[in-house]
Amino acid sequence: MAKESETGNRLVFAYYVTGHGFGHATRCVEVVHHLILSGHDVHVVTGAPDFVFTSQIQSPRLFLRKLVIDCGVVQADALTVDRLASLEKYSETAVVPRDSILATEVKWLKSIKADLVVSDVVPVACRAAADAGIRAVCVTNFSWDFIYAEYVVVAGYHHRSIVWQIAEDYSHCQFLIRLPGFCPMPAFRDVVDVPLVVRKPRKSRKEVRDELGIKDNEMAMVLNFGGQSLDWNLKEEYLPPGWICLVCGAHDNQQELPHNFKKLAKDVYTPDVMAASDCMLGKIGYGTCSEALAYKLPFVFVRRDYFNEEPFLRNMLEYHESGVEMIRRDLLVGHWRPYLEIATTLKPSYEGGVNGGEVAAKILQDAAHGKNYKSDQDSGARRLCDAIVLGFQLQRASGRDISIPEWYTNAQNELGFRTGSPQSSDAANNNSSFFQNSVCDEFEILHGDVKGLPDTINFLKSLAELRVSHNSEKPCIRERKAAAALFNWEEEIYVARAPGRLDVVGGIADYSGSLVLQMPIREACHVAVQKIQPAKQRLWKHAQARQQAKGQKQTPVLQIVSYGSELSNRGPTFDMDISDFMDGGKPISYEKAKHYFSQDTSQRWAAYVAGAIIVLMKELNVRFESSISMLVSSAVPEGKGVSSSASVEVATMSAIAYAHGLNISPRELALLCQKVENYVVGTPCGVMDQMTCACGEENKLLAMICQPAEVLGLVDIPSHIQFWGIDSGIRHSIGGADYGSVRIGAFMGRKIITSIASSMISQASSNSNGHNNNHEHDIRLLKTEASLNHLCNLTPHRYEHTYVKNLPESISGEAFLKEYKDHNDSATVINTKCIYPIKPATTHPIYENFRVKAFKALLTSSPSEDQLTALGELLYQCHYSYSGCGLGSYGTDRLIQLVQEMQHNNNNNKSTQTDGSLLYGAKITGGGSGGTICVLGKNSPQTRQRITQIQKRYQNATGYKPFVFEGSSPGAGKFGYLKIRSKNK
């Protein structure tokens, strides 16, 4: 039976608004306005200023309660989210006082006799409503469990419970009213979609322009950063002639503005100003995006670092031809003109509804009367089992959400040729000749061979399609537009390819000098490079404007397009004057180069690519007199621990080297690429990833001793054995704190061991009585260990006999530096306030080196069940040693458990035990803390079925369908390069 309101037809709504940004408050205003027009009372719980509500609603039925119980995100500045500070602030605001908040809110909800709780999108409000016996509904385009999940990966596990608690709170919500431009929101069960919620203009375009003194022949631009100022030093020349800029949110102490800038009042009604303008410049948020779409106002936007709802809003803007992305450094230095000129050529195409406020209000009234809403679609969404697994990775899993809007599906389909796993070998064989003939119709291959690789053939096809898309009027995402204008098709293009790698054994012991065995995987990165005279390069408009502003003509410019930007927090393009790498006729320092790329997080990815240029300048004294255009297309998934960054570095360095006639061996090239990552990117990786990408061969394991990079050769993978990779869905990053701490701990351990050995030599010398052969032998051993260059040169028995008992379990950075001065690792810096693991971080590489040697020897032994069992046992031992260092993760541990269950269940099932087991072992790979596991099994169709079963069981348990890596491909050295030229001039 429908619930009757205790006030008759008048309902009472408690509307909670997050403390994050004006956008939530402004869309709340629109819904509240319609609820009040329908005769209901609305109590708004908010931290937003009163004028946001009272300027639009003058009614005694509106009640404002100033309170913030959901802080949203903390911004270091207008464009950067501070992820750790956000989690800490949320903990302080909503976690520590949780019991008190719940008690207070339950009491208050009962006191106002609320009929329905509405949340945008405050988690604890849903739980408070449940405790008070009141229904709750959320109205939003994103949820905080999704936003915070990626932050927790960066911050470590300390705040992991925050995401679980938020997801649980949301599960008390009856259903979700979902707004356009939505993110995946797995914690909600039932969903009702509504049109855009936007505020309506109150005045006509002409009225507003007359009031502001804008002439009919002047172009007006709104500068709006959501109530946050960038402390502008605005200059007249930022705008094209005949333009006026209307500045929202300027500080009271803002400098006197140039004549073509107008400061607006703090409480200005933004929809009026937007409707009277010709474009807007600002940061992406729901409020600005929705109103820009509604008023068909071109939006020049600047990315926000770590603002995880942004990719979805950005794709919606670009799909409706309403968005132009501005590079941050151009924003800050005032190179606005080319972006504004592009904006005026857009034809915004949004024709959807803009009455979401009215529709949502009607749904809320029905819900308050007891109506149940259930999605017509079979959502497949379930309550969150592990938000870390789902988290940020949900952006990459097409179809994982309740439903994917048309604009998002379109973005995925546009890039379908390069995402996901390559074709199966059977499909490749069947279609190879057809594809090759198709490619040959488009390009003349002047050097090299595609080697029948389907991903290479597809990449060449995508290049051929770029010319078509450049001349097409069909809407497409920005990176494809930029790529279409990248090359001069009458000039030669060089293409290089580098695969990712599966760490079979060796992993994090590489920086300690271990033997490692690595397999190049089927997924690879392709890079196309064109070396061209500056006068012939097709420059993007903002690059042209930058050179004109400097008074430069025909100077070398680097332009890069990176496919896949819509799947992560990065801009699709990067450009710079190559002269930026020079200072006083010499290449800039690595420290300056690192700083150059670190200024804008959305373009930090360019360090992996452009970093190759500065490394070649510094290490090989190469000078670049020509312009360079580059296209990067990688099918190696990011954050899965399969060397996506190394494959980009190696493919990039190879393509640049070949285009410039540089003869660099694969080994030397890998070492140069390591310098890119260590010194330009600033990540303390070893060299095994780059060596595998450069020197690996198909269906072979690269055997290398990392001292620093001595390739022993290639080990054939026996025909009865196969390796698979299974992704846990937990984002892996070797730049994370855990990997760095373990690496530092290992180098500290080495320093302590050498110090112990030196002390023992002194003590043994002072206690020496005559000649003793055993004594002299001990002294020789100690002298060798006192000058130990790599931990892995210490044998396990010497470690156990002499050193392990004297190693501390852990030590603070301050205490270590006080006693030992330095840890002698140029790639890492000790933090005096951190506690570093010493014993586990030191033990792992010493024993891992032994395990890898045993693994290598077993691979070449006679095939047998004992061989496979021993190989698998070594993998399991390696996995648990990782965990001992603190580099395990929930997801990878669960996958290992599933492998073991599958293995032992098969062994115990007598009816299927004819040829022994099918799976024998597994381990976490690479830098650990998430990413991918390596699985060892028999090479048979039955084993593939077991892998599929593990994939399904993991998905059932976590909601995340793992990516499975199967197969191998040649490294960059074996592939060589292609030199191509278009046949169709």
d(CA 183, CA 387): 14
Q: Give the count of beta carbons closer than 10 Å to the beta carbon of residue 273.
A: 21
689 is catalytic: yes
Parallel, antiparallel or unpaired: strands 919-924 and 932-938: antiparallel
The residue type at 286: Y
Q: Give the count of beta carbons closer than 10 Å to the beta carbon of residue 240.
A: 15
CA 761 to chain CA centroid, nearest Å:
50
Q: Give the count of beta carbons closer than 10 Å to the beta carbon of residue 780.
A: 10
Quickly list DSSP for 394-412: GGGSTT-SS---HHHHHHH
The rounded radius of gyration (Å) of the Cα atoms in the chain is 30
Buried b (16+ CB within 10 A) or exposed e, 636-666: bbbbbbbbbbbbbbbbbbbbbbbbbeeebeb
Looking at residue 676, what DSSP letter applies? Answer: I
Catalytic residue, chosen from 386, 510, 689, 738, is 689
d(CA 696, CA 504): 13
CA 127 to chain CA centroid, nearest Å:
31
Quickly list DSSP for 865-891: HHHHHHHHHHHHHHHHHHHHHT---HH
d(CA 54, CA 56): 5
Question: Residue 702's closest CA among 970, 517, 437?
Answer: 517
d(CA 751, CA 841): 13
Six token digits for residue 150 = 């990626």
Preceding omega of 121 cis (within 30 degrees of 0): yes
**First-last CA distance in the chain:** 73
Residues written for the chain:
985
Buried b (16+ CB within 10 A) or exposed e, 844-879: bbbbbbbbbbbbbebbeeeeeeebbbbbbebbbebb
Residue 770's Cβ-count burial label (10 Å; 0-12, 13-18, 19+) is exposed
Place of tokens 């009372």: 41
Which residues are known catalytic residues? 689
